[in-house]
Amino acid sequence: MKNSDSEKYGVVYVANGQLEAETIRLFLEAHDIKAFIFQEGVGNTYGLTIGPLGEAKVVVPTEQIEQAVNLLERMERGEFDYNDTSDDSLADMDQASET
């Protein structure tokens, strides 16, 4: 990431480890928001997911902070959850695997 005067970044999410941060980064990028992850080197090396060394910060360009925070708030409310209550798709897969 090139940090020039024309492009500044802000933290929009503090994750418990690299895996959670990567999930958030991919979610934001799927919504056309450029995101990067920063984690203390020791925490990343040892795979820490708790405490200050385990924190991984997700940052976005300042002009996209508001949009990113809005998306993350909607995600926390469950607006992007997939709730397929029909069991038909599972039954179809079971029947297909039996033949």
Render pLDDT for 13-64 as a digit per residue (tens, 0 to 9): 999 888 999 999 999 999 999 999 998 777 767 666 677 777 899 999 999 9
The packing angle between helices 18-30 and 65-76, to 10°, is 110
- The model carries a pTM of 0.72
Domains of the chain: residue spans and CATH: 9-98 (3.30.70.1530)
How far is residue 40's CA from residue 14's CA, in Å, rounded to a whole number?
A: 12
The Cα–Cα gap between 49 and 58 comes to: 14
Is residue 94 pLDDT above 60, yes or no?
no
Q: Which amino acid is at 64?
A: Q
Q: Give me the pLDDT at residue 40, please.
A: 79
Residue 58's nearest CA partner among 4, 22, 19, 8 is 22
